[in-house]
Structure 1
C-alpha cells in the first residue's frame, strides 16, 4: 500500500537519524545527569543507568508496526488489522501472542498519546473480533482467553468502547465459571482438561478482575481477584524468596519454576490489590517478587534472562516489563528498581538491528533478518514501561 511505503520511509529515516546522532560507536541512550540512577546487583556491581529517550521509545513501536502491522479491510465504519507472526508475512500471530502484541501497543500509546497508535489499537481489536468472534469458548486454554480479556479491558480504558468492556467481562466470566473450583483449595485450571493450575492464568486473571471492578463497579470482581491471589500465595508463592512457581498439577505437585511473565503478573496483581486491601501485605509480596527477579533470575549486571525453551517463552519479558514498571510507578519504588529497569531498556535498544527491531537477547546485536514478532515486543514494552515512572 502507498501509505505503508510512506511510513516505511519515514521510520527508516528517523531511525537513521538516531543512529547518526551516536556516530560510529555502538549506539547509546542519551544521558542526562539528573536522570542518572544507581542500583547494586546481588554481587555488588553498581549499575549506572538513565531513563531512555522518550522519542526513541515511540520510534521502537513505530518500527515494530512498520515490520509486522497489516491492515486488511473494513469493519463496519472502521477498519481491521492484525500483526504478522514474522517479517516474511507468513501469517497472523496466534491468539494469545496477538493479544500481547496489542497490549504492547497499548503500553506505547499510554506513554506517547499518539493518535496513530490509538487508531491501530482499535483496528487490531477489530481484527481479533473478526477472527475469533465475541466469546472464545472454543479455546481450551483459559490463559489465552484471559490474556485476550485483559487486552480488551485495557483498550476500554482508552476508548470507553462498551464493546471492549463486554468482551472482557463475558470472557472473564466464562473462564471463571469453567475453571475455578475448590480442588487444591481454589485456583483456575490452565486448560479445560483440568490437569494443572498455573500462574500464567491465575495472576493475569486477578489483574483483569481488578480492571473489571474499576470499569463496572461490581465488587464481586475485586473479591475474585483477592481469592485468586490468596490461593497463589498459599500454593505458588515462596514467601522467603519471592519466587512464583509456574504450575501445580492435580495431585498438588509443583511442575514448573518461575518465569519472568509469571513473576511480572503476580507483581501486577499484588500491586492492584494493595489499595483495596492495604493491610494484607500485597505490596510487600510484590516487592519480594521484584527482588527475586532481579537477584535470582538476572545475570550479574542485572540483565533479564533469555527465555528460549519454546517460541512462546520469547515474549515473556514484555509482560514482566509491563507490570513491573507499573508497580514501580504506583508505589514509588524508583530508588529501588528504576536503574535496573532503565538498564534493561537501554541494553535492548543498544542492540537493535537496522530496522529498529530488538530480539530477546539484550547482550548482542539483533540480526537484520530477524523475523519473530512476538519476541520483539520485549524491548518495546520495556522502553515504554520505564516512562511510567
Structure 2
C-alpha cells in the first residue's frame, strides 16, 4: 500500500440559510440525456483516498477512559477544529470507507473521533439551536453503533433524535420538523436525515415508534417538498407555507436514502419509485451534459453536499439493485473526482479541474472520498 500511495500521489458555525434557486443554475448546463464514458478507480484507491484525507486533517489528542480522542481540522492549515455538523459528516465519510474496506485503522479512528465529539460537545446537544445539526450528529452515532455495538453511541443517537422530535415536530403545515428552534422554516435538510436516523434507530432498538416517525416525516415531505412529476425535492417551506429553497444534492440524496429505507418496511407504498424519481431528477436536471454532479460553492456550508448525496444514492443503488440504471453515472463521478486530485491525494468539490495544492478545507474534500467509496457499495 505504501508503494501504491507514493505512485498515486506523484501522479497526480454560523450556518447560512440557503436561498431559493433553480438547481440547473448550479452548473449552467442542463441535460435530459447523459452520455457517460469513464473508468472507475480500483478499490485500493478508494481506501487510499480516505487515508489521504486522514493524513491531511486527522488530529488525535488525549485519552477517553482506555481509548483516545480525535477530531478533524477544518482545513489543511490546521487553523481550528471542524465545526459540529461538518465534523459529523466527515466521520460519516470515514464510516463509509470502513464499511467498504473493513480496515482496522479506520475503525479505530472512527471510535476516537466519536470520543472527540463526545468530549467537545457532551452527551445531549440541547444548546444547539439547529435541529439539522443535532440530527446529523445522531445519524453519525447510530451508524457508528451498527459497527461497534457500543451502547453509548446508541444512547447518544436515541436521546438526541428524541430531543429534536420533541422540540421540532408539530402539526403546523401538516407536520414536519422545524429547521431551528426559531420555528421559521421546515427544511429537507433536517427532515430527510431524521427519517433515515429513525429507521436506523428502529433497526437498533426494535421500537416501531421510530419506524412510524420515519414514515410520518417522509409522508410530510412527499406532500410538501417533493414534486411527483419531476422527482425534485425542494429545500424548505416557511411558516406561511411558501417554498423558500430549491433542490440541492444533499436534499435529493437524503430523501433518496429515506425512501430506500422505508421501502423495506412498506414495500407497497411507492417509496422506492419516489427514490428512483429523485435519482433521475438529480442525474438529468442537476448535472452537466456529461453527468457530472454540480459545484455547490455558494458558501462553505454547501461545499460538502455531494458527499451526502453520494452516501445515500449509492446505498439506494445497492439495496434496490439499480446498478444497471445508475452505476455508470456514479462511477463516472468517482473517476472524475479522483482524476483531479492534488499532489496530496485530496479532492475538492469541483470535479472538472485540479484540486489546489495550497489550500482546501476538510468539508469540501469529503465529497470525492464518499463518492469513491460509495461506488464500491454496489
TM-score normalised over the length of structure 1: 0.91
Structure 2 Cα separation of the partners of residues 102 and 45 of structure 1: 32
Aligned length: 361
Higher relative contact order (CA 8 A, sep 6+): 2
- 1:114 paired with 2:103, answer yes
Structure 1 runs (4+) greater than 3 angstroms displaced: 41-45
Once the two structures are superposed, the pairs formed by residues 43-62 of structure 1 within 5 Å of their partners are: 44-62=33-51
Q: Deviation per CA, 1:38-91, whole angstroms, max 9, x where unpaired? A: xxx945452123432000000000000000000011111100000000111111
- The alignment partner of 2:59 has SS state of strand
Alpha carbons of structure 1 residues 131 and 19: separation in structure 2 relative to 1, 3 Å: closer
Alpha carbons of structure 1 residues 45 and 163: separation in structure 2 relative to 1, 3 Å: closer
Structure 1 Cα separation of the partners of residues 200 and 349 of structure 2: 29
- The alignment partner of 2:333 has SS state of helix
Structure 2 Cα separation of the partners of residues 98 and 18 of structure 1: 27
**Does the 8 A contact of 2:36 with 2:332 survive in 1?**
yes
Structure 1 Cα separation of the partners of residues 174 and 230 of structure 2: 23
Question: What's the offset of the Cα at 1:371?
Answer: 2.4
Point out where structure 1 has 5 or more consecutive residues left out of the alignment: 1-9, 28-40
- 1:166 paired with 2:155, answer yes
- 1:16 paired with 2:11, answer no
Partner of 2:20: none
**Does the 8 A contact of 2:35 with 2:291 survive in 1?**
no
Structure 1 Cα separation of the partners of residues 344 and 4 of structure 2: 11
Point out where structure 2 has 5 or more consecutive residues left out of the alignment: 13-29
**Does the 8 A contact of 1:306 with 1:361 survive in 2?**
yes
**Does the 8 A contact of 1:318 with 1:377 survive in 2?**
yes
- The alignment partner of 1:387 has SS state of coil
Match of 1:264 among 238, 249, 253: 253
**Does the 8 A contact of 1:51 with 1:387 survive in 2?**
no
Structure 2 Cα separation of the partners of residues 44 and 213 of structure 1: 38
Structure 2 Cα separation of the partners of residues 89 and 366 of structure 1: 18
- 1:203 paired with 2:203, answer no
RMSD: 1.3
- The alignment partner of 1:73 has SS state of strand
Structure 2 Cα separation of the partners of residues 42 and 248 of structure 1: 27
Once the two structures are superposed, the pairs formed by residues 64-213 of structure 1 within 5 Å of their partners are: 64-213=53-202
**Does the 8 A contact of 2:38 with 2:332 survive in 1?**
yes
Rg (Cα) greater in structure: 1
**Does the 8 A contact of 2:46 with 2:369 survive in 1?**
yes
Partner of 2:21: none
Structure 2 Cα separation of the partners of residues 257 and 133 of structure 1: 34
Partner of 2:225: 236
TM-score normalised over the length of structure 2: 0.94
Q: Deviation per CA, 1:258-310, whole angstroms, max 9, x where unpaired? A: 00000000000000000110111000000000000000000000000000111
